Amino acid sequence: MSREIPYKIYLEESEMPKQWYNLRADMKNKPAPLLNPETLQPITFEELSGIFCEELAKQELNETDTHIDIPEEIQKFYKMYRPAPLVRAYCLEEKLGTPAKIYYKFEGNNTSGSHKLNSAIAQAYYAKKQGLKGVTTETGAGQWGTALSMACSYFDLDCQVYMVKVSYEQKPFRREVMRTYGASVTPSPSETTKVGRQILEEHPGTNGSLGCAISEAVEKAVSTEGYRYVLGSVLNQVLLHQSIIGMETKAALDKYEIVPDIVIGCAGGGSNLGGLISPFMGEKIRGERDYQIIAVEPASCPSMTRGTYAYDYCDTGRVCPLQKMYTLGSGFMPSPNHAGGLRYHGMSSTLSQLYADGLMEARSVEQSAVFDAATQFARVEGILPAPESAHAIRVALDEALKCKETGEEKTIVFGLTGTGYFDMFAYEKFNDGKMTDYIPTDEEIAASCAKLPKIN
């Protein structure tokens, strides 16, 4: 049977997943447990539920259930902006002159402009169900803060966002979108927390970092009655919620009996990649089918390709649980000229374990090559991609061009995580020919990794 494949493959509402897929339950080598930062012992449910909502703490620790029901309220919300289309990039293929077949799963069809809403709505739902007053969080580029603001306003929850100072100043419109949804936004580091005041004293004039905004948000949550902290990436629970991306992708491909050879995603903390690859990786782990799976990270923040696999703190203030992951060290600050997002020092523990076990590859790409790919893509496919997403585009183009040389008709699927309308300063730099690449030296990475906590 060979049916004509449409430009966009949509699922019917009735075909949308009703359960998330918990990849960890199928992993033979489980990721190492989270550690309590004070005792350095595996963290318990009781300890974790002091920081996170109870249901989310349960999901964080669940490595036995392969499937977890998506509550009906969340399914309803998903239906407002999902299913997300799986697009066959016919125009791009033609432009490249490649025999490869390229598909992308587009997650930018909501106001937050990214996949982050998939987890934000779940986290807000569980917070509401627990009777909380509100949540705190951090945001870097602003997509997570926007997604969470949207989710909290839907469930009438207070939302307090610590926004990395440099983004707060460079992306005033992001801030206003969040405020429109009723969130309060504070530039980080700030005077509103002990850890913020301490960081300001040690590094006056600092532009802030994700790690330090996380510390402030956690401190605020644990010191305010009726509040919990929520995080938009890295955690197991976030990968679980993002499995909706992969499950929809797989269902859409199955409808037309398409089997990808290569699955590609960008990796910051690993949530979209972990979600996109989950059903494919599941088949691979169970020995049912093989796929080439590629994580793409920026050359300026190369946690998988050049980091160390070790226990590390998830935040600069060292208040969060420790996680075993590929890391550049919690004090690592990517060069200030890095515009392309994905600047977190570590990586999801699940993806780290899969990478350590050789089940996936990682590549790093330089930002001028990333923006070049973004521009090529925008000009033929119509969508102005987020710089983060453009990392995946870069490698998809590279693989498609390899097929052009070899004549192979590989099927490539990549995650197009979002749109880049709030990143026009970065595009401006690229268009003006002023974008430069900065790759940290071995010495810089070694110096940062030398400060890793000494565990095991």
Ligand X SMILES: *Cc1c(COP(=O)(O)O)cnc(C)c1O
Q: How far is the CB of 350 from ligand X (least distance, A)?
A: 12
Which residues between 133 and 192 bind ligand X (CB under 6 A)? Answer: 143-144
# chain residues binding ligand X, by CB under 6 A: 19
The single-letter code of the amino acid at 339 is A
Which residue, 332 or 403, has its beta carbon nearer to ligand X? 332
* 12-18: Cβ within 8 A, 24+ apart: 13/79, 13/83, 15/83, 15/251, 16/75, 16/78, 16/79, 16/82, 16/83, 16/248, 17/70, 17/243, 17/244, 17/247, 17/248, 17/251, 18/69, 18/70, 18/75
Strand residues in 347-389 grouped as ranges (E) = 361-365
233 binds ligand X (CB under 6 A): yes
Asked if 380 contacts 95 with a C-beta cutoff of 8 angstroms, the reply is yes
**Minimal distance in Å, beta carbon 51 to ligand X?**
19
- Reduced to 3 states, what is the DSSP secondary structure of residue 120? helix
Please identify, using beta-carbon distances, which residue of 144 and 414 lies nearer to ligand X: 144
Count of beta carbons in the 10 Å neighbourhood of residue 154 = 17
Tokens of 242: 């993002």
- Shortest separation between residue 235's beta carbon and ligand X, angstroms: 10
Return the number of the residue (89 or 342) whose C-beta is nearest ligand X.
Answer: 342
**339 versus 403: smaller Cβ distance to ligand X:** 339
H helix runs in 1-64, sequence order: 45-48, 54-61
Compute the least distance from the CB of residue 320 to ligand X, in Å: 16
CB under 6 A: which stretch of 69-77, 267-275, 375-383, 426-434 binds ligand X?
Answer: 267-275
* Interface segment toward ligand X; rule CB under 6 A; list 190-198, 255-263, 265-273, 279-287: 265-273
CB of 200 to ligand X, least distance (A): 26
CB closer to ligand X out of 132 and 148: 148
Q: Provide the minimum distance between the beta carbon of 381 and ligand X in the complex, in angstroms, as a whole number.
A: 16
**Based on CB atoms, which residue is closest to ligand X, 211 or 270?**
270
Query: Cβ neighbours of residue 371 under 8 Å, at least 6 residues apart?
Result: 340, 387, 390, 426, 427, 430, 435
Choice from 22, 114, 139, 236 touching ligand X (CB under 6 A):
114
Q: Which of 270, 307, 329, 340 binds ligand X (CB under 6 A)?
A: 270
Q: Which of residues 324-383 bind ligand X (CB under 6 A)?
A: 342
Tell whether residue 230 is a contact of ligand X (CB under 6 A). no
| Residues β-bridged to residue 137 | 161
The DSSP secondary-structure symbol of 14 reads G
Residue with tokens 């996680």: 323
Measured between alpha carbons, how far is 249 from 261 in angstroms, rounded to an integer?
Answer: 14
Helices then strands (H, E): number in the chain?
Answer: 18, 15
Choose between 294 and 386: whose C-beta lies nearer to ligand X: 386
The verdict on 271 binding ligand X (CB under 6 A) reads yes
Task: Show the binding pattern over residues 382-421: x = contacts ligand X (CB under 6 A), - = does not.
Answer: ----x-xx---------------------------xx---
Residue numbers at the binding site for ligand X (CB under 6 A): 114, 116, 143-144, 233, 266-273, 342, 386, 388-389, 417-418
